[in-house]
Structure 1
Amino acid sequence: KGEAADAAGFTVVMKFGGSSVSSAARMREMADLILSFPEERPVVVLSAMGKTTNNLLLAGEKAVSCGAPKASEINELAVIKELHLRTIDELGLDSSIVSGFLDELEQLLKGVAMMKELTLRTRDYLVSFGECMSTRIFAAYLNKLGKKARQYDAFDLGFITTDDFTNADILEATYPAVAKRLHGDWIDDPAIPVVTGFLGKGWKSCAVTTLGRGGSDLTATTIGKALGLREIQVWKDVDGVLTCDPNIYANAVPVPYLTFDEAAELAYFGAQVLHPQSMRPAREGGIPVRVKNSYNRHAPGTVITKTRDMRKVCYVTVSVYSDSSM
C-alpha cells in the first residue's frame, strides 16, 4: 500500500465538513492547516459550505408550492447566492467560479416550481450544487496561494453507485476507476485533488446521486481504500470521538484509540461523530481513520483501527445522573 501511495504522490485523505468551510475565514484556516503539514500529500474531500445543503432542500420544497415566477425570490436561494459570492469576494477570487452554477440553480428551482414536483432524482441533483461550488472555491484559493490544486466532481471522478437516490451506495467498480483517474492525473500533472464529498453517479441512470448519512465521510474512506493510503483523516469540530456528549457532561474527553466495532457501538448509542456505514471501506481496506479537530489542529484526535493494543486502554469517568423527583 505504501509503495502504491508514494508512486501516486498521495499519503492521506483529509475530509472537512461544512462547518470547516463555512466562510472565507474558515477556508483560509483550512488552507493554512493543509499547508502546515508539508510532509503530507493529501487528497482533500469537502462538504458544502455551512448550512448550504439544508438551504438547498428548503428552496426545493418551497419551489414546489410557490409557482415559477416567484422561484427566483425564494429566501434560501438569496442566502446561498450571498454566501458564495461574498466568500469569493473576500478570498479575492473571480465570481465566474460559481456564477454559472448559481444561474443554473435558479433555473432548476423555476423548473421544479413549474412542474410542482420534486422527485428524489431532482432532489439529489439540487443538493449537488453545494459541494460543486465549495470545492471549486477552495481549489481556486489554493491555486491563488501558489499550491497547485485540481477540483473533481465525484460523479466524474469514478464514483459509481446504486440508483437509490438520496441514499445510494458505492459499487465495487468505483475503487479501480477512482485509483486510475487520480494516479493518471498525478503522473501527468501533480496537484492536490479537491473532491466533492457526498456525491456519486448512478450506474444505470448516469444521474447524480447522494450517499445518504455520513456521505462525505464515505467519500473519504472510499478514496483511502482505492489508493491504499496509510491514513484517512476526518476533520470535525471536536477533538475526536468523545466519552460522551459535551453538551450533557462538560468534562467529556476524547478517546485516543478505538476499534471499528467500538466506534459503531458508540454510534448506536447516539454518538454523532461517525456513521458506521461510512467507515466500511476503511475497515475492509485495513486503513486507520483518524478523527481530528479543525479548530485544534495539533490535537492527536482519535485513531480508529480494526484491532488495538489493549494496553492502550482509556480509563474514563462515567457519570450517573439521577432525578430526585423520580
Structure 2
Amino acid sequence: MTRILKFGGSSVGSAAALRRSAAIVRGELPAGGLVVVSALKGTTDRILEAVAAAGRGDLPAAQAQLSDLRDHHGAVAAELGLVNNVRPAWGPLLARLDQVVTGMALLGEATARGRDAALAAGETLSAHLAAACFQATFRDVREVMRTDARFGKARVQLPALRAAAEPWREALAGGALWVTQGFLGIAPDGATTTLGRGGSDTSATLLGEALGAAEVQIWTDVDGVLTADPSLVPEARPIPRMSLGEAEALSAFGAKVLHADSLAPGGRAGFRLVVANTLRPGASRTEILPVAPSRAAGEVTSVAYKEGLSLLRYPAAAGLEPPLEAARRLEEAGALRFGLVSSPAGTLLAVRPDTPAAAEALADLEAGGAERESGWAVVALVGEGLRADPVAALRHLAALGHEPVGGLLTGSSTVSIAFLVPESRLGDLIPRLHDRCVLRSPEPA
C-alpha cells in the first residue's frame, strides 16, 4: 500500500537539509510513494511581508522581499547543482508571483484571494526543487485537493478529493515516486486556496486518506512526540506509541506536534501516523495508532501546556448569552478557545488571542464590561491510563499542592484533564508534574 512522507520547511530549508531528506526518501520509499513538502524555511514569512508591503502600496519594499526569496532559492539550487533542472518551472512561477504582488501594490490592497495565490508560489518552488533533488516527478496538489472558497482557511471537500485522487492512487500503487505541495487547494472556480494553520501536515494526512495509504510519516526536527516540552523539562523522552486520542488531546492543549486538523483523517481511514526527526533519522519515532496501545490504569503519557491565555469572567446575573456571544466573536476573529465554564457563581471564558483581530475583539469585550485577566496558561495531563482509571486524575492533581488554580477544564475527552494556572508558575509546575505523573508512572507501552 502507498506510503506518504511529509517534510516541513526546516527539512527542506537548505541544500544540506534537502540532501538529508533525499536519503530518507530513498530509504523509506524504495518502491515509490508520495512526498509532500512545505515551502523552504523562511519563504512563507518573506511572501507575507511582501504582500503586506504591497497592500500598503509600498512596491519597493515588496520587491525587496521577492528579491531575497529569489536569491535564497537560487543559492540552494546552485549548491545542489540543480539550477538548470528547476529553471523552466521556476521562471513562470517567479514571474507570476511578481505580477500578483505588483497588482496588489497598484491597488493598495492585499486580498485573501491574492495572498493565497502568492503563497502558492513558495510551496510550488519548493516542490519543484525537492522533486529534482529526490529524482522524482512533480505533481501539482491542486489536481486533487478540492476545497471551498474560504481563502486563507479553506475546507477540503472530501468526496471531491477522493474522486479526483483515483488516478493518483493507481499510479502510486504502480510504483510512481511523486513530489507535491502541502498547504494548497483549489476552489470550485479554479482559484488557489490555502488550508490555514497546520495546512501542510493536514494535506499529507488528507492525501493519505484519499489514497488509501498504509502510513503517513511527518518528518520534522524533533524525535517524535515527547512527554513534555524539553525547554522546561530536559528529562522529557520520546513516546514510542500513542493513541489518536492522546495525540488529539496534546494538540488541543498546546503541544507543538501536529495540528488537530491533521489527525482527523487518520481516525477516519485507520492509517498509521509516524512523527520522526529529519536530523536524526535513526532516532526514536512516535507512532500514532488508531487503536490505543496498552496503558497502565492511571498512567499519564505527557504533560502539555499553552501560555498567553486571557480569562473573561461574567457574573451569574449576566446569564449565558453574553459569554457565548463573546466566544463566537473571538473564535471568528482567530482566537483559540480553551474553556467555557459556567457555575452558579458565574461564567469563565478562557481564550488565547492569536491574531490582531482577536486581540482587538478582546479589548472591546473588556471595554464593554467583561472582567479580563491576562497572564494565564492551560496545563493538561494526557494519557489513555486516565480513561482506564478516571479517579487517577484527581490523585495526580494532588501534585499541585497550593498552586493558584484558576479552574478545571473538563471537556469531552476522557484521556486528559486540564486546568488554568498563572503563566509565572509554568517553569516550576511543568517539571514537577512531569516527575510526579510521568516519570514515576510505568514506562509507556
- Regarding TM over 0.5, the answer is yes
Task: Verify: 1:249 aligned to 2:229, yes or no.
Answer: no
CA distance in 1, matches of 2:69, 2:302: 43
Superposed displacement of residue 29, structure 1: 1.1
Q: 2:158 aligns to what SS in structure 1? A: coil
**Counterpart for residue 288 of structure 2:** 304
CA distance in 1, matches of 2:72, 2:186: 27
Superposed displacement of residue 259, structure 1: 1.4
Task: Verify: 1:277 aligned to 2:266, yes or no.
Answer: no
How many residue pairs match? The answer is: 304
- Aligned partner of 2:114 among 113, 122, 140: 122
Could you give the per-residue CA deviations for residues 291-313 of structure 1, whole angstroms, max 9, x where no partner exists?
11111112241111222231589
Contact 1:97 / 1:137 at 8 angstroms: preserved in 2?
no
Classify 1:179/1:101 alpha carbon distance in 2 versus 1 (closer, same or farther; 3 Å): closer
User: What amino acid is aligned across from residue 225 of structure 1 in structure 2?
Assistant: E
Could you give the per-residue CA deviations for residues 217-272 of structure 1, whole angstroms, max 9, x where no partner exists?
11111111112121111111001111111122222111112212211111222101
CA distance in 2, matches of 1:207, 1:88: 29
User: What amino acid is aligned across from residue 84 of structure 1 in structure 2?
Assistant: H
CA distance in 2, matches of 1:42, 1:298: 20
Task: Verify: 1:136 aligned to 2:128, yes or no.
Answer: yes
- Aligned partner of 1:100 among 66, 84, 92: 92
Superposed displacement of residue 179, structure 1: 3.1
- Aligned partner of 1:202 among 187, 206, 221: 187
Could you give the per-residue CA deviations for residues 180-222 of structure 1, whole angstroms, max 9, x where no partner exists?
22134457x853110100000012x321000011111111111
Superposed displacement of residue 76, structure 1: 1.7
Q: 2:6 aligns to what SS in structure 1? A: strand
**Counterpart for residue 203 of structure 2:** 219
Task: Verify: 1:84 aligned to 2:68, yes or no.
Answer: no
Alignment of 1:38-57 (within 5 A): 39=30, 41-57=32-48
Contact 1:23 / 1:87 at 8 angstroms: preserved in 2?
yes
Contact 1:178 / 1:226 at 8 angstroms: preserved in 2?
no
CA distance in 2, matches of 1:66, 1:119: 13
* Relative contact order higher in (CA < 8 Å, ≥ 6 apart): 1
Task: Verify: 1:176 aligned to 2:165, yes or no.
Answer: no
Contact 2:25 / 2:134 at 8 angstroms: preserved in 1?
no
User: What amino acid is aligned across from residue 194 of structure 1 in structure 2?
Assistant: V
**Counterpart for residue 112 of structure 1:** 104
What percent of counterpart residues are identical?
35
CA distance in 2, matches of 1:317, 1:155: 37
- TM score, norm. by length of structure 1: 0.86
CA distance in 2, matches of 1:209, 1:305: 30
Alignment of 1:52-71 (within 5 A): 52-68=43-59, 70=60
Contact 1:16 / 1:235 at 8 angstroms: preserved in 2?
yes
CA distance in 1, matches of 2:163, 2:302: 46
Q: Where does structure 2 lack aligned partners over 5 or more consecutive residues?
A: 304-398, 401-426, 430-445
- TM score, norm. by length of structure 2: 0.64
User: What amino acid is aligned across from residue 203 of structure 2 in structure 1?
Assistant: T
Moved over 6 A (4+): 312-320
Could you give the per-residue CA deviations for residues 147-188 of structure 1, whole angstroms, max 9, x where no partner exists?
xx21112112x110111110011112244334322134457x
**Counterpart for residue 224 of structure 2:** 240
CA distance in 2, matches of 1:87, 1:48: 13
Q: 2:28 aligns to what SS in structure 1? A: coil
Superposed displacement of residue 37, structure 1: 3.1
**Counterpart for residue 363 of structure 2:** none
Superposed displacement of residue 288, structure 1: 1.5
Contact 2:57 / 2:109 at 8 angstroms: preserved in 1?
no
CA distance in 2, matches of 1:186, 1:220: 14
Classify 1:30/1:109 alpha carbon distance in 2 versus 1 (closer, same or farther; 3 Å): same
User: What amino acid is aligned across from residue 219 of structure 1 in structure 2?
Assistant: S
CA distance in 1, matches of 2:177, 2:30: 13
Contact 2:226 / 2:238 at 8 angstroms: preserved in 1?
yes
Classify 1:181/1:160 alpha carbon distance in 2 versus 1 (closer, same or farther; 3 Å): same
User: What amino acid is aligned across from residue 195 of structure 1 in structure 2?
Assistant: T
Classify 1:317/1:306 alpha carbon distance in 2 versus 1 (closer, same or farther; 3 Å): closer
CA distance in 2, matches of 1:97, 1:240: 34
Could you give the per-residue CA deviations for residues 73-103 of structure 1, whole angstroms, max 9, x where no partner exists?
6332122111111111111121333122122
- Aligned partner of 2:13 among 3, 7, 22: 22
Classify 1:306/1:61 alpha carbon distance in 2 versus 1 (closer, same or farther; 3 Å): same
Q: 2:200 aligns to what SS in structure 1? A: helix
CA distance in 2, matches of 1:136, 1:67: 30
Classify 1:183/1:310 alpha carbon distance in 2 versus 1 (closer, same or farther; 3 Å): closer
Contact 2:277 / 2:285 at 8 angstroms: preserved in 1?
yes
User: What amino acid is aligned across from residue 114 of structure 1 in structure 2?
Assistant: L
CA distance in 2, matches of 1:40, 1:315: 39
**Counterpart for residue 163 of structure 1:** 149
**Counterpart for residue 24 of structure 2:** 33
Superposed displacement of residue 142, structure 1: 2.5
RMSD: 2.3
Superposed displacement of residue 34, structure 1: 1.1
Contact 1:238 / 1:293 at 8 angstroms: preserved in 2?
yes
Q: 2:234 aligns to what SS in structure 1? A: coil
Classify 1:184/1:41 alpha carbon distance in 2 versus 1 (closer, same or farther; 3 Å): closer
Classify 1:304/1:41 alpha carbon distance in 2 versus 1 (closer, same or farther; 3 Å): same
Superposed displacement of residue 110, structure 1: 1.0
